[in-house]
Amino acid sequence: MGVNLKGKSFLTLLDFTTDEIRYLLDIARQVKVEKRAGTPTSRFAGRTLAIVFEKRSTRTRTAFETSFGEEGGHAVFLSKDDIHLGVKEDLKDTARVLGRMFDAIAFRGFKQETVEVLAQWSGVPVYNGLTDLYHPTQILADFMTIEESLGSLKGRKLVFVGDSRNNMANSLMIGSAKMGLHFVACGPERLHTDPAIVSKCKEIAKQSGATVEVTEDVDSALKDADAVYTDVWASMGEEDKLQERIALLKPYQVNAEMMKKTGKAETIFLHCLPAVKGNEVTEDVFESPASRVFEEAENRKHTIKAVMIATLL
């Protein structure tokens, strides 16, 4: 395939071609096999990773720390309380210091601009572990899970139900457009995906054969869906809007009745976690045979390891 991503930052899937995303998924599959087999590897021996987080995390933090450590590297976790992240020091100065101390930087926080400044000034690969706009490492894990469960990505119908203007809906739409899926963002009009992102994805879809839809209509959205995806109704930092969101989004709860609307017994359920059961998804769907949420959570580790292998080695 001739893909070379060495030295490249991973900030949004918009920056990656279909072939490059495929390459990352193929590496992830390989490292998962190695991990399951107990094959010892030390690809990152002598290398260091700064994990700079403004927001709390379970999967993203543990995926970066364990995958880097398993490969013989040394990861250092730095919360916003540990370093001068935009406080008493320009962000670009922090970036330049970290770039001289570390071989790579993982960031999780609020503004997309922050991760972009880190990438611009550090001189080392920077990985976006979540911003308010995008969550690209999660999409790799989601796509890996869809392939493992259903055998393929291209042409699959992936439906995101709920708050369609959040970072997950944005990133799933971009990833689907790149990889040729039929993506539907289904939710109330007030919470529809940014039209600029929709327009961009529709342009990308012309090349890949993907289709991109935004709708309020649950019945048409769910029909023939191969995968149904949801996320919390109030993202981190939006907790004050939860009651308003519950009122708006109750008709978009993923429950057994909604899953039946697909008309397919093999439809899978996905969620990036953490989940608020009883809000965006019912306990019975979350714990059902259709649910792949914990395979998806594990795949965060393998896909993040794949990104670091591709960009560091």
pTM: 0.96
Distances (CA, A) of 262 to 94, 222, 251: 49, 5, 16
In this structure, the dihedral spanned by the alpha carbons of residues 252, 253, 254 and 257, taken in order and rounded to 10 degrees, is -90
The 10 Å Cβ neighbour count of residue 2 is 5
CB-based contact 31:42 (threshold 8 Å)? no
138-296 in CATH: which number?
Answer: 3.40.50.1370
Per-residue confidence of the chain (313 residues) as pLDDT tens digits?
589 999 999 999 999 999 999 999 999 999 999 999 999 999 999 999 999 999 999 999 999 999 999 999 999 999 888 776 766 789 999 999 999 999 999 999 999 999 999 999 999 999 999 999 999 999 999 999 999 999 999 999 999 999 999 999 999 999 999 999 999 999 999 999 999 999 999 999 999 999 999 999 999 999 999 999 999 998 766 778 888 899 999 999 999 999 999 999 999 999 999 999 999 999 999 999 999 999 999 999 999 999 999 999 9
Is 137 annotated as ligand-binding? yes
> Domain 13-134+298-312 is of which CATH architecture?
3-Layer(aba) Sandwich (3.40)
pLDDT at position 1: 55
Domain ranges of the chain: 13-134+298-312, 138-296
pLDDT at position 236: 67
| Rounded distance between C-alpha atoms, residue 307 and residue 125, angstroms | 10
Task: Give me the active site residues, please.
Answer: 108, 135, 138, 231, 272, 300
Is 186 annotated as ligand-binding? no
Expressed in angstroms, the distance from the first to the final Cα of the chain is 17
Is 19 annotated as ligand-binding? no
Is 167 annotated as ligand-binding? yes
Is 273 annotated as ligand-binding? yes
Q: Tell me which residue of 105, 7, 75, 65 sits closest to 309, measured CA to CA.
A: 7
